Amino acid sequence: MNSAKPRIPRRALHGVLLLDKPIGLSSNDALQKVKWLYRAEKAGHTGTLDPLATGLLPICFGAATKFSQVSLDADKGYLATLRLGQTTVGGDREGEILAERPVNVTGEQLLHAVASFLGSIDQIPPMQSALKKDGRALYEYARAGIEVERASRRVTIHRLDIVSWQPEDMLLTLDVRCSKGTYVRTLAQDLGEVLGCGAHLAGLRRTHSGGLDLSHAVTLTQLAEEDADARDARLQRPDTLLADWPALSLPDTEAARFLTGLRRRVALPDTPAVRVYGPQGAEGPLPRFLGPDCSAAFLGSGHILAGELIADRLLSPVEVQALLVS
């Protein structure tokens, strides 16, 4: 007698879910739980959050996965809580305490130290990162107790504001806006050294990824309690990932040719990245830039160079149609 459970049929979904990842789960664990809830054929996330971290984790389904790199490359925002006076193995609260030092800092000293990290800075990636050396992730070396040499990397801190300072608990909370590839645990450690007391990362919550923010995110608990229709209603269009790019609308025949990958002549200035839409909502026979709230048929992304629109990432006709009827 065959006692195997029947396979749950998967379905083709196209869109973006803004997930509020809980503490204790890896990004991949969270992705798999969401994928199972949606019974989705294809899904991926757009930037790893450590199990220690919570907050915004965009999940891409179907056609949206073609544009996940945009979110990976985008600037990020975090609320970071630092515990001053303690350094730990790995630079976060889960590591063994290596040293404790007294914390004697004034508000003025805090402001001056924080301001010194604004702009372009160099960071040495932590051993707990997923960067690879000789084919192995750095965290694999760290788990084996091996420290390897790492080259510094240039990142940009766009904003670094003090949200709160709790001297009784030695906890400093910062609002961080930074370029991709910034290691906030390294920022915490380096700031602790500038203050002369050491520090480690006690908590991290991602609040922004490019133009996406945590205010529109949903928790796994909320998703699990909803029915399928309510979950589907939470999906945003794939072009949400490109919301801060200029939008270009093509008339019918031009849109069809663009979808085949052909270059199209346009009387528009050079633009490094555009999101491209089809005839639904277009006006007139010529390509034109749309306003920020367009409802046209999303075709994909491209760039304009020397009067030509050149495709970069295209949806298939099936995907375009699925988005129009969803």
CA separation for the pair 156, 245 (Å, rounded): 21
Q: Is 73 part of the annotated catalytic residue set? A: no
| Candidate list 20, 50, 92, 239, residue with the active-site label | 50
> Is the separation of the CB atoms in 90 and 184 below 8 Å?
no
Alpha carbon 282 to chain centroid, angstroms: 31
Give the number of other Cβ atoms within 10 Å of residue 77's Cβ: 22
- Which helix (H) or strand (E) element contains residue 303? strand 298-305
> Is the separation of the CB atoms in 265 and 293 below 8 Å?
no
- Phi, psi torsion values for 241, nearest 5 degrees: -65, -20
Kindly write down the DSSP assignment for every residue of 124-181, as one continuous string: PPPTTS--EETTEEHHHHHHTT-------EEEEEEEEEEEEEETTTTEEEEEEEE-TT
Q: How many helices (H) and strands (E) in the chain?
A: 9, 20
Which residues are designated catalytic? Answer: 50
